[in-house]
A and B are shown apart, each in its own frame.
Chain A
Amino acid sequence: MKDKKHYHAIHITQDKCIGCVRCMTACPTKAIRVKDGKARIIDERCIDCGECLRFCPYDAVHSHTTSFAALDAFAYKVAIPSTVIYGQFGSATLPNEILSALRRVGFDEVYDPSAICELNTAAVEEYLHEHPQPRPFITSTCPVVVRLIQRRYPGLCAQILPIEPPREVAAKILRTILPKALNLPPEKIGIIHLTPCPAKMVSINSPATLKKSYLDGAISIRDIYPEVLNALRKSQDDALMRHLFPETLFSGIGMGWSLSGGEIRGFKSQRAVAVSGVADTMRVLDQVEAGLFQDIDLLECTVCPDGCVGGPLQVENRFLAKSRILQLVDAAGDRAVVDHKDVSRLYHKNFLSFDHPVTPAEALPLDADPARAIAKAQRREKLFKKLPRKDCGICGAPDCWTLADDVVRGAARLADCPFVRKEKR
């Protein structure tokens, strides 16, 4: 086995994997093979989208997120939750109650992300205004989309909008201000993202656009859910307090960011389109690569269905969560809480920009030598014709075409196909 070159958050627990083909056939980048009765992930192809995690009935796919115990390393713990968390606890629970419950669970401070989301929307609008070309720009909020583009659509790297997503901007602001305010060394302050997304951990541990992430880790909403629920149950008085004395003014523009279309909702003068779900995202990126969408300023892409609210590491039924968040968006209306002068100042100081552009990931051609690549492609066509086209997955590849591809790349044998074997006998 080769050494792993890329950090991944998605792993297969070998003991639990029974070697069925569900994750393999669900994988949008054909990154899984089942060999010797166990599913294996091909490092270079995986984009950490979490589709396998959704499809595995045996709980054998897990994602590596920060454990609650790991927070003990920090003297001061800060949480920046995704707005998805507001949709997790029913329609009677106010955002403020949830933030307050998170404090009781063990965070010293918890920051609502909706204002930062609004700030991001305003900065993006300013960027688009100043950069009439190229079109369309593609949002970078979804780390899977960034990785998908690096691997499958390298030609679109320059179209990724070079503004950091709200989670990083929020962490950067806090990292700048808190050490002075608290008189603590920066390394003693832990800034943690609470997320429904396995790929956030990848964007923290090996960021595509920053030298180093401003976040110290990501806890999955699934992991922290029981603790928060427990804290909410124990605090009838607090709930009354929060209902009667709401402290935080939520941004109406930022509140819906975790829903597909949320990032572009606040735009006034730009033409923007939102796409969600991994298959639809790939379809649209294919079209962008063919030169379409040039009359669109911004393409919001999120690979989870309905946006981050459909993330595999959230708990609540996605439709209920979405409905709850829409209620909150309605309640907040178009309320803006961010001063545009602040946005402009931070934007022009390049405080919100990428450290470096997104670069294409190493491509996986059939062969580095063009003539040999052509010969392999010819051979692959011939091999494919011998296969039954049942896409059964028994050979260990997700479909017949991929088996032919694996064979010419030297990663499988034609005899791995049970139909070919039977014929030979």
Chain B
Amino acid sequence: MAASAVFRREFPVKGGDFSKAGTVACRIKDLLKELGLDTQTVRRAAIASYEAEMNVIMYAWEGRMKLAVSPGKVRIVVDDRGPGIPDVNLAMTEGYSTATPEMRELGFGAGMGLPNIKKNSDGFQIESEVGRGTRLEIIINTNGHKP
């Protein structure tokens, strides 16, 4: 039982589809609530997955968000096919953004996305290859803060 006790779901995200912005994050949040996770964990996961979903919509061509929940841990892996990030360290700086004026007009691209994801997760990894895409791994422990 313990070994199989991982709940997995995969969600596609389409780049540029602003009309669907937030739907995957919302599904993830509802699932976590149904799995009985505490309010704080759900909230952190909601914020992190929303930001991650928005990054795919804003910058990539397409992506997948993979959710895996086991007792004690939420893992979200976001894989996208897209332009990639030339300087990951720079992209992790608060306030740094490559958002277009149009995106900013819509209220996006304040340069808080990646730092905000990191802030709301207990484990965070990012790999990116220019011209190919970006992979994020977000881990949130369900009982308490940073291990």
Contact = CB atoms under 8 A, between A and B. Distances in A.
Interface of A: 154-155, 286-287, 289-292, 360, 363-368, 370-371, 373-375, 377-378, 381
Interface stretch (B12-20, B32-40, B76-84, B86-94): B32-40
Contact of A374 (B6, B25, B29, B116): B6
A365 B71 contact: no
Contacts of A360: 39
Interface in B41-60: 42-43, 46-47, 49-51
Contacts of A368: 36
Nearest to B34: A366
Nearest to B112: A291
B36 A289 contact: no
A374 B35 contact: yes
A286 B22 CA distance: 9
B26 interface: yes
A360 B40 CA distance: 13
22 contacts: A155-B39, A286-B22, A290-B26, A290-B46, A290-B49, A291-B47, A291-B116, A292-B50, A360-B39, A365-B35, A366-B36, A368-B36, A370-B37, A371-B1, A371-B71, A373-B34, A374-B7, A374-B70, A374-B71, A377-B7, A377-B34, A378-B7
A377 B50 contact: no
Q: Decide if the interface of chain A is mainly helix, strand, loop or mixed.
A: helix
B9 interface: yes
Contacts of B51: 291
A373 B33 CA distance: 10
Contacts, number: 70
A292 B22 CA distance: 10
B109 to A, nearest CB: 14
A373 B36 contact: yes
A291 B46 contact: yes
Most A C-beta atoms less than 10 A away, residue of B35, B42, B47, B49: B35
A155 B43 contact: yes
Contacts of B49: 290
Given A290-B50, A370-B71, A377 B35 contact: yes
Nearest to B35: A373
B31 interface: yes
Contacts of B9: 381
Nearest to A375: B5
A289 B43 CA distance: 7
Interface string B61-79: 0000000011110000000
Given A155-B42, A291-B116, A365-B34, A374 B47 contact: no
A152 to B, nearest CB: 8
Contacts of A155: 39-40, 42-43
A290 B36 contact: no
Contacts of A292: 50
Given A291-B116, A375-B5, A377-B7, A365 B33 contact: yes
Given A365-B35, A366-B35, A367-B36, A375 B22 contact: no
A364 B9 CA distance: 21
Given A155-B42, A360-B39, A374-B6, A286 B33 contact: no
The 7 A-B pairs with the shortest beta carbon distances in the complex, nearest first, are A365-B36, A290-B50, A370-B71, A291-B47, A371-B5, A374-B7, A155-B43
A371 B36 CA distance: 10
Contacts of B25: 290
B47 A290 contact: yes
